[in-house]
Every structure is written in structure tokens, then in C-alpha cells.
Structure 1
Amino acid sequence: MPESILQQQLKKEQPFESLELETFLNLLRTHNMIAASPGRLMKRHGLSSAQYNILKILDSHLGEGVPCLEIVQQMVTRVPDITRLVDRLAEAELVERNRSESDRRVVMITITPKGRELVETIRLPLLEIHKQNLGHMTEGELSQLNRLLVKARIRAEATPLCDGSE
């Protein structure tokens, strides 16, 4: 079997143990390469990708507060401690916390004008980065890639987060 491109890039002499392993490593390497530029952009603005994701979620709920649990459900990546992320955004005056009028146990998070301004500042440069990273692919290729990524993710999303060692 001829060497794969990833095998050559990693200077790996032996073939991968399985096609699934090679695919996983390809996904991981691709993610790291594609996520680097957006990560640097976020860092220049004092944010992590997860914090920016929270701001985008809040920005889409015009004027409404959003409970933390709903934010977690809408996030692209799973985060272990939403409270800590929101704390940092609140310290930077990008979000505010308010108790729900109807249920005092629920804390609603809203984006501030400063937070909206930051989202808008980042929006176009981020779109340009995505075009630079993926613009060489046709719409058909991007659609096919999206379908395949969703198909690959379905089983992982249905699998509990434990590794069976408990």
C-alpha cells in the first residue's frame, strides 16, 4: 500500500494501524492548521475561541438574556466550565449577568454594547480568514465535506463522554 500524504507529512515510516486512526489524525491536523489563524485573531482581542462563541450566541439573541445552560447547548465546542468563561467576559464588560424576574435561581447572560462592538470588529476579518483557509474548495466540495463531518460526528455525539474506565 503506498504511503498516504499524512504519513509522508508526519515522516511516519510504518502505515497507520487503521484507516480510522489515519482519518482521526487527519481531522486533528486539519483542525490545528485551520484553527491557528482564527485563534491568533481572537487572542489579539483578548478572547479565546470559546469566549467568542459565547459572544456570538448572545449577539444573536437581540436584547434578550440567555441562561448559561442554553449557551452551553448552543456552543460549537463542549466547555467544562461555562461559569469561568462568563466570569472573564463579565470582567471585561463584554457581558452582564441578571437574575431572571420569573425564577430568581436562573441567571440570564446578556451581551453589552462593548461586547457587540467587539463581535462586529472581529466578524469581517474572521470571514476573510475562513475564505483564505477554505476558499480554494468549490461549494459542492464544501457541502460534501460538511455532510461527511456531520456523519462522522453523529456517533460521537451519541456516545457518553466517559471512556469506560469508571
Structure 2
Amino acid sequence: MAAVTAVMRTSQILLTRVESVLKPFGLSFSRFELLALLSFTATGALPMAKAGARLQVHPTSVTNAVDRLEQAGLAARRPHPSDGRTVLVEITPTGRELVPRAASALNQEVFSRPGFGQEDLTALTEILTRFRRQAGDFDESAGEGQTAVP
């Protein structure tokens, strides 16, 4: 129980730090993740179901994030050009411009100094990766470090 509680509380602390850095950009971490994912695609767009699978989140969470991103003018829904059943989510030019600024702030204010020493970071990453692998969180056929599609 102590280990689970420590991991859960640590997650809350880190998420609070991340959210406070993203707040001035009008983003939550989930919305930032979706924008970053879209910014890495060749076309800037993905089917909503594929975005959810890559982020390992429930379709409702993707819908909520897209709703908020649309309201902010950072993403837009559009029909798939060849599959009428599929809806694409596409990053807007404003969203594309915001991603590197938000990422830079996260790198500078959170990721470059997460509150752990390098040895602890290495050990934590190894332990948590092993745990996630045992829980089926990685698709071993897709190569090292690829997350499983839920």
C-alpha cells in the first residue's frame, strides 16, 4: 500500500506542476498531448479513434479534449476525405504555433528539473517500464518502447 500510495501521490504532484506550466497557454496536459501528437503527424490530422489509441485514452476523453481545443481555435474536426464514417481532428496554424512554446516551457520548468537525481530517474524509469511491460502496456511486436493500443 505504501508503494502504491507513493506512486499515486507523486503522479498528482507532477501533474500539478505540469498543469501550472500549461495554464498560461490555456492548455491542460491532455490537450497539450493531443496537440503535440497532431503536430508530429505529416498532415497535422488523425482520425479521432487513432488519436485516442495513440494517447491510450478513452474516446470520451478525446472528444472532450477536441471540444476544448476547437473552442480555443487550436484544432478542428473535419470529415475524412475517403471514409465518411471517420472524423479527423486537425491542428490549426494557431495550435501548431503554440505547441513548441508550451513544450519549451515544460522542458524548462518541469522536465529539466523534475525533483529527482539522475540515478533516481534511471532507476525509476527502469522500474516503471518493467511494471508497465508486465501489465501489457507495450506492444512488443511494434518495437521497443511502443505503447499498446487499448
Q: State how far apart, in whole Å, the 2-side matches of 1:145 and 1:133 are.
A: 12
Q: Deviations over 1:112-151 (max 9, x none)?
A: 11001111111111011211214x522x543332121122
**2:93 is aligned with what amino acid?**
P
SS in 1 for 2:27: coil
Q: Deviations over 1:69-90 (max 9, x none)?
A: 1111121665743112101111
Contact 1:50/1:77 (8 A) holds in 2? no
Q: 1:42 aligns to what?
A: 22
Q: 1:116 aligns with which of 93, 96, 108?
A: 96
Deviation at 1:26, TM superposition (A): 0.8
Q: State how far apart, in whole Å, the 1-side matches of 2:78 and 2:42 are.
A: 15
Alignment of 1:56-135 (within 5 A): 56-75=36-55, 80-128=60-108, 129-134=110-115
Q: 2:127 aligns with which of 148, 152, 159?
A: 148
Contact 1:53/1:76 (8 A) holds in 2? no
**2:131 is aligned with what amino acid?**
A
Please report the RMSD computed on the Cα atoms of aligned residues, expressed in angstroms. 2.1
Contact 1:65/1:110 (8 A) holds in 2? yes
Q: State how far apart, in whole Å, the 2-side matches of 1:103 and 1:111 are.
A: 19
Rg: which structure is higher? 1
The number of residue pairs the alignment matches comes to: 136
Gap change, CA 1:107 and 1:121, over 3 Å in 2: same
Unaligned stretches of 5+ residues in structure 2 = 138-150
Higher relative contact order (CA 8 A, sep 6+): 2
Q: State how far apart, in whole Å, the 1-side matches of 2:107 and 2:135 are.
A: 28
Identity of aligned residues (%): 26
**2:82 is aligned with what amino acid?**
S
Q: State how far apart, in whole Å, the 2-side matches of 1:79 and 1:106 are.
A: 13
Unaligned stretches of 5+ residues in structure 1 = 1-20, 159-166
